[in-house]
Amino acid sequence: MDVTNYVILAAILFSIGAVGVLVRRNAIVMFMSIELMLNAANLAFVAFAQANGTFDGQVVAFFVMVVAAAEVVIGLAIIMAIFRTRKTASIDEANLLRA
């Protein structure tokens, strides 16, 4: 079992998430892309924990899950507030702030 494969998969997932945030215009989808990036990091941490033979990476993965859950709460609260005001979750509609 080669750890490298897991790390490459993590890198691919992270890139999909990173590009997703940049190209998708729906706040919910952008948000899902960010979650994908966090989970890619988790996969990398667990894979490296196996490679290094230490527990640190696995412990980090648990904490990241908790943080991701907290982030979901905050993010959805903000998106909901905007959705109720404007009846849309598109990022392009949020364009009042500019020079």
Query: C-alpha 37: how far from its chain's center?
Result: 4
Alpha carbon distance 61, 20 (integer Å): 22
* Closest alpha carbon to 20 in 8, 7, 31: 31
**Beta bridge partner(s), residue 26:** 90
How many chain residues are in contact with other proteins, going by CB under 8 A?
Answer: 52
85 near other proteins (CB under 8 A) = yes
In the list 5, 25, 54, 88, the residue contacting other proteins (rule: CB under 8 A) is: 54
63 near other proteins (CB under 8 A) = yes
Amino acid occupying residue 68? A
Catalog residues that contact other proteins under the rule CB under 8 A: 1, 7, 10, 14, 17-18, 21, 27, 30-31, 34, 37-38, 40-41, 44-45, 47-57, 59-60, 63-64, 67, 70-71, 74-75, 77-79, 81-82, 84-86, 91, 94-99
